[in-house]
């Protein structure tokens, strides 16, 4: 869903998306953003262009 609001990422799937929007209806009421009481522990994936340099990326991948 590149180029779309993060709230819209859950629209095409029966899924969830990490967003920073406030709790409540979003995307004209098509989705509902909720607060989580407990932290959500899931793996994170970072993407970098392969032709770029990143000290952070190099440190993570060591």
Classify residue 14: in a domain, yes or no: yes
Contact 43, 29 (CB under 8 A): no
Classify residue 52: in a domain, yes or no: no
Classify residue 28: in a domain, yes or no: yes
Question: First-to-last CA distance in the chain?
Answer: 30
More confident of the two residues 24 and 55: 24
Q: Average pLDDT, stretch 10-39? A: 78
- Angstrom CA distances, 21 to 18, 27, 51, stand at 9, 11, 32
Which phi and psi (to 5°) does residue 34 adopt? Answer: -120, 150
Classify residue 22: in a domain, yes or no: yes
CA dist 59 and 62 (Å) reads 5
41-60 pLDDT per residue, tens: 766 666 667 778 888 878 87
Confidence band of 25 (pLDDT split at 50, 70, 90): very high
Residue 13 structure tokens: 């799937």
Please indicate, yes or no, whether the overall pTM of this predicted structure exceeds 0.75.
no
Classify residue 12: in a domain, yes or no: yes
Classify residue 1: in a domain, yes or no: no
Domain count, the chain: 1
């Amino acid at each position: 869903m590149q180029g779309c609001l993060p709230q819209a990422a859950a629209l095409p799937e029966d899924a969830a998306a990490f967003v920073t929007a406030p709790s409540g209806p979003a995307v004209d009421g098509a989705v509902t953003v909720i607060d989580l009481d407990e932290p959500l522990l899931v793996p994170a994936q970072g993407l970098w262009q392969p032709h770029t340099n990143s000290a952070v990326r190099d440190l993570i991948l060591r």
